[in-house]
Structure 1
Amino acid sequence: MSLIDAAREVRENAYAPYSHFKVGAAVRGRSGAIYAGCNVENVAYPEGTCAEAGAIAAMVAAGETEITEVAVIADSPAPVPPCGGCRQKLAEFGRHDVPVTLATTEGKTMETTVGDLLPGRFEVAHMDRT
């Protein structure tokens, strides 16, 4: 199964009773395994979970900590990029050159990288006081 197919499949399981905007995401770990996640809304909006965060959590739960590829899909007129928080989450586990495919359910795609999604990202080196 391709990464975008995994994201497309898991998108169907999204819990989006408020926005009705289902999102699916899939990440590939260093091992080659695919981890998928979907958005899970909550009536208290800030308490929901993004699809990208769910995919990353599944990867970490499986014992991996390095993303080598990302795919995100939604039913929208144009490919939807990850929110700011998810960009930082992707940057935590993916190098600058990790490819990211953003797609619509109608087949439009946009290719980018983790680094292009989050230039000037906050890194552990920013906390180094030595």
Structure 2
Amino acid sequence: MDYTELVKKSLEFREKAYAPYSNFKVGAAVLMDDNKIYGGCNIENASYGATNCAERTAIFNAVSKGNRKLKAIALVGDVSTHTYPCGICRQVISEFSDKDTDIILVKNENDYLIKKLDEILPGAFTKNDLEK
């Protein structure tokens, strides 16, 4: 699948990040099952616990508009490496995705890795665990 637009959007949202404490900007773009793209950036707070990651911001943006099925997510942090989502974000990604969801770890427009959720969060705790 061609993720050119999704990758570009993640880079655009990275520039909107509010990261005055860590100076670590992160951008994310999610492709939902209706083929709409939603974005987000990390938003820090002096009370660190109130900070929100780019991945969750993008997903919550999509969910708040009625979309609940994630096809792919692209994220970019430190452009010198491929930044992976934190543990909380991996858990939120798992809530709205399945085994076929692509996780795109962006370094720049031409350099990115594509992973599956099971690769970055093996043995995820999901809603299926609550049905047992």
TM-score bracket relative to the smaller structure: over 0.9
Preserved contact between residue 29 and residue 73 of structure 2 (Cα < 8 Å): yes
Does residue 96 of structure 1 match 2:121?
no
Q: SS state of the match for residue 67, structure 2? A: coil
What 5-or-longer segments of structure 2 have no aligned partner? none
Q: Return the offset for 1:125.
A: 2.2
Preserved contact between residue 97 and residue 115 of structure 1 (Cα < 8 Å): no
Match of 1:54 in 2: 57
Alignment of 1:25-104 (within 5 A): 25-104=28-107
Q: Return the offset for 1:107.
A: 4.6
Q: Return the offset for 1:75.
A: 2.6
Query: How many Å separate the matches in 2 of 1:120 and 1:62?
Result: 29
* TM-score, normalised relative to structure 1: 0.92
Identity %: 38
Q: Return the offset for 1:97.
A: 1.8
Q: Which residue identity is paired with 2:49?
A: P
Computed over aligned residues only, the root mean square deviation of the Cα atoms, in angstroms, reads: 1.5
Preserved contact between residue 65 and residue 93 of structure 1 (Cα < 8 Å): yes
Query: How many Å separate the matches in 1 of 2:84 and 2:78?
Result: 12
Q: SS state of the match for residue 2, structure 1? A: helix
Q: Return the offset for 1:117.
A: 1.2
Preserved contact between residue 8 and residue 109 of structure 2 (Cα < 8 Å): no
How many residues were matched structurally? 129
Q: Return the offset for 1:106.
A: 7.6
Query: How many Å separate the matches in 1 of 2:54 and 2:131?
Result: 31
* TM-score, normalised relative to structure 2: 0.91
Preserved contact between residue 43 and residue 54 of structure 2 (Cα < 8 Å): yes
